[in-house]
Amino acid sequence: MATITRSTITNVLAKQGILIAFVLFIIGFGLANSRFLAVDNVLGVIRSSAILGVIALGVTFVVISGNLDLSVGSMMSFSTIVVLDLHDKLGPLMAIPAMFALTMCLGAFIGFLVGYLKLNSLIVTLGMLSAIHGLTLTWSGGKNMDIADKQGTWFGIFGRGDVLGIPVPILFFALLAIVLSILLARTPFGRKVYAVGGNGTAATFSGIPRARIVFLSYVISSFCVACAGLLQASRSLGSQNTVGQGLELEVLAAVILGGASLLGGAGTVFKTVIGVLILGFIQNGLLLVGLAFYVQYVVTWVIIILAVWLDIAAKRGRFLSPIA
């Protein structure tokens, strides 16, 4: 009986551990600092997590399908620079769809390489990280990109506006999370993404077009990156070429923290949102108790490794690895 209870506890911990940790964390900081759970603080946290979050939603698809995407950071720099540049050249109404089209072409290219040519996603997206960075620098000539007339454009509403007191980036993030969550959890496509990542061979033997599913997951990822680029550009109305640098690994950290397995086949959009919020609230909570922003890096390190370790430990039934 005792063993059953213990294994049940391990099981619950393994499945919902991250959610429990999140709740405990919120309660802890809420008690430590009353500002922490104030509405404006919470909105502020979510708002500043929105860009990371939007990208993480897309990367969730890629990771569940069993691949990696290290190119999202430099791809976001690309879309930010492109939309800012085109804003002044074509006007915002044309610039936005043009930027989406270009960004999604990049995603489709990666999807083609990984899905149809079956190249290793780590190396392909590593190469694309570099290549897209080069593309961005070539596009901008290496200079910062600014909108000339910052006062006279409506372009700022995506990053700066709010609706009924809620900042637009939050609405954007929430809306995208709901739509993608439904896509992943409720549609045949979503089911196929899980099948391809869970066991690609079995998926093929079940008549699922594996290459196409992988391709589409990268297209979705690039769509999310384009959304994030739009939010970033709209918030700052001007940008450096390196605005998204390093984001790819933070995004991956959020997705893994949410419980998606790098082997594929596991994870949900909701859990990724939790992962993103944890990162955001850690950062905020640490700032509120007077610690510098970089302390969150160390905390994130510990949390990621603990989260993945506990997950593995629950599956193998022992804490330490059996490797001699």
Partner 1 sequence: MQSEQTVRFLKKGAIWAFIVLELVFFSVAGHFLSLSEGAFMDLDNMLLLLKQSAPIGIIALGMTVIMINGNIDLSVGAIFAFSAVILLDSMTWAVFAGLGDWVIPVSWGLALLTGTILGAINGLIVWKTGVDAFIVTLGAMLGYRGLVFMYNGEQPTSELNWTLVDFAEAQFLGLHTATWFLLGCTLVLWLLMTRTVHGRNAYAIGDNREAAVNAGIRVGPHMMKNFMLIGFLSALSAVVFYSESGSVNPNDGSLYELWAITAVVLGGTKLAGGSGSVISTLGGVIAIQLLRKGLGYIGSDTETVNLVIGLILIAVLYLDRQLNRKGKEELRI
Partner 2 sequence: MTEGTPALRLSGIVKTFPGVRALDDVSFDVMPGEVHALLGENGAGKSTLMKVLAGIHQPNEGDIFIEEQKVVMRSPLDAKAKGVVLIHQELSLAEELSAAENIYLGELPTKSFGRVDWATLHEKSGAILERLKCSFGPRTIVGDLSIANMQMVEIARALTVDAKAVIFDEPTASLTDAEKVVLFDIIRDLKARGVGIVYISHRMDEIFTISDRISVLRDGSYRGTLMTAVTNEEEVTKLMIGRSLDLTRNVQPAEMGDVAIAVQGLSCGKMFQDISFEVRTGEVLGFYGLVGAGRTEIAETLFGLRTPSAGQILIDGEVVKINSPMDAIRMGISLVPESRKEQGLVLGMNCKDNMTLPQVGDLTAGPFVSDGAEIAIFDQYRDKLAIKTPGWREKVGNLSGGNQQKIVIGKWLSMRPRVLIVDEPTRGIDVGSKSEIHALIRDLAKQGYAVIVISSEMPEVLQVSDRIVAMFHGRLMRIFSSQEVTEDSLVQAISGLNTDRVA
Q: Least distance to partner 1 from the beta carbon of 321, Å?
A: 3
**Which parts of 275-304 interact with partner 2 (CB under 8 A)?**
none
**Which parts of 97-156 interact with partner 1 (CB under 8 A)?**
113, 117-120, 122-124, 126-135, 137-138, 141-142
Is 102 in contact with 82 (CB distance < 8 Å)? yes
* Binder of partner 2 out of 7, 8, 187, 321 (CB under 8 A): 187
Is 138 in contact with 110 (CB distance < 8 Å)? no
Binding mask 45-84 for partner 1 (x = CB under 8 A): -------------------------x--------------
d(CA 195, CA 201): 9
Contact of residue 18 among partner 1, partner 2, none (CB under 5-8 Å per partner type) = none
Beta-strand pair 238-239/145-146: antiparallel
Dihedral sign for Cα 290, 296, 302, 304, please.
Answer: positive
**Residue 208 three-state SS:** coil
CB nearer partner 1, residue 154 or residue 297: 297
DSSP string, 158-174: HHH-EETTEEHHHHHHH
Q: How far is CA 300 from CA 53, 199, 208, 244, 280, in A?
A: 16, 30, 37, 19, 10
247 binds partner 2 (CB under 8 A): no
* Binder of partner 2 out of 142, 207, 317, 322 (CB under 8 A): 207
Residues lying near partner 1 in the complex (CB under 8 A) are found at 70, 113, 117-120, 122-124, 126-135, 137-138, 141-142, 200-201, 204-205, 210, 245-246, 249-250, 252-253, 256, 262, 292, 294-302, 304-305, 308-309, 312-313, 316, 320-324
